[in-house]
Structure 1
Amino acid sequence: MNKRVDLPEKKYEGYIFDLDGTLVDSMPLHYKAWRKALARAGAPESVFREDEFYSCGGKSANDVVYFLNERYGLVMDAESTAADKRRIYLEMLEEEGMQPIGEVLEFVHSLGDAPKAIATGSAIPGARRTLAA
């Protein structure tokens, strides 16, 4: 997904960056992992269109499954489906790797010694592996 990156012009004492879709272009891989996990859980292919996926940004994996169950009248187990999605994502990450969003990475490097942090709604093991990749 090529999107315009709006970088701050004002200088701040510190910066907090989101991980998925901001520092790294991980959203397409997350979507592919969701598609595979949902298919394994018995969801029809028509469930969880890409626009729905992006509208669920910030929801926990379990909450995404609850949302889909309610919206489509499904009975997928939230914990096992979410855990399967996380496993699939990590497998795909190993196979396909991950690319930073270059413009944002350049901005991070331009900040020098300014305090920086990463915030994410991702599970910690997945976030660490995403950063390592």
Structure 2
Amino acid sequence: MKLDIPAGDFAGYIFDLDGTLVDTMPLHYRAWDAAMRQVGLQCPLDEELFYSLGGVPTLRVAELIAAHYQLTIDAHAVFDHKEALFSELQKDAQLIEPVVAFARRIALTHPVSIASGGPRAIVRATLELTGLATLFERNRVVTADDVVHGKPAPDMFLLAAQRMGVSPEKCLVFEDAEPGMRAAEAAGMKWVRVPSRASKPARP
């Protein structure tokens, strides 16, 4: 994997978690597929639909998937079931080494933070299980629980910048999915696309 790092005098670095630092997206897919089948989905969950929602807050993903398949659901119940299923799979998550190596290197000289669309408990568990928790100060881990509007709104990235004490235009974002890239642009930040199953060619 080659990361295309743009030129710039960046003072802070913000990383998405799932699909960017940790290869959890296939595990999330399995959990969503099982959870949606429990509430009436009669076919395999469409992978293109799932990956197009990368970075979107989990509760909103439940609502969007249900709307796509015209299912009537209790979004909060599906949210809880999906996260319980994912928790059982988390131990199988693997690091995306090129991105993690960059994060470890840059953290020696610059502030780094997480901006993830997952709920706080799941994000913290992923960081702990993968050994990444020590890399990111606790108050620099921004999750869907910390903002009103998740990606593609810029709120997560703006809060991460604030917590690092860095102006938004001095931040560089690492993302694997279109909603996160749109959120970075809305925050006035440059971004690096992490190639993954979730990624499609996006605007520079």
TM-score range, shorter chain: 0.7 to 0.9
TM-score (norm 1): 0.85
- SS in structure 2 opposite 1:104? helix
Q: Does 1:117 align with 2:113?
A: yes
- Equivalents in 1 of 2:119, 2:102: separation in Å? 25
- Equivalents in 1 of 2:96, 2:74: separation in Å? 34
Q: Which has the higher contact order (CA 8 A, sep 6+)?
A: 1
- Could you say which residue in structure 1 is the equivalent of 2:82? 85
The CA deviation at 1:103 is 0.3
Question: Pairwise mapping of residues 56-75 of structure 1 onto structure 2 (< 5 A)?
Answer: 56-75=53-72
Q: Does 1:19 align with 2:17?
A: yes
State the Cα deviation string for residues 58-110 of structure 1 (Å, max 9, x = none).
3222222222232222112211011100111011114x2x2111001111122
Matching residue within 27, 41, 44 for 1:43: 41
Percent pairwise identity: 37
33 and 4 in structure 1: CA distance in 2 versus 1, 3 angstrom threshold: farther
- Equivalents in 2 of 1:6, 1:91: separation in Å? 34
Q: Does 1:101 align with 2:99?
A: no
Could you tell me which runs of 5 or more consecutive residues in structure 1 were left unpaired when the two chains were aligned: none
80 and 57 in structure 1: CA distance in 2 versus 1, 3 angstrom threshold: same
- 8 Å CA contact 2:58–2:117 kept in 1: the answer is no
Q: Tell me how many residue pairs correspond in the alignment.
A: 128
Could you tell me which runs of 5 or more consecutive residues in structure 2 were left unpaired when the two chains were aligned: 130-204
- Equivalents in 2 of 1:34, 1:6: separation in Å? 31
- Equivalents in 1 of 2:63, 2:111: separation in Å? 37
- Equivalents in 2 of 1:104, 1:90: separation in Å? 23
TM-score (norm 2): 0.58
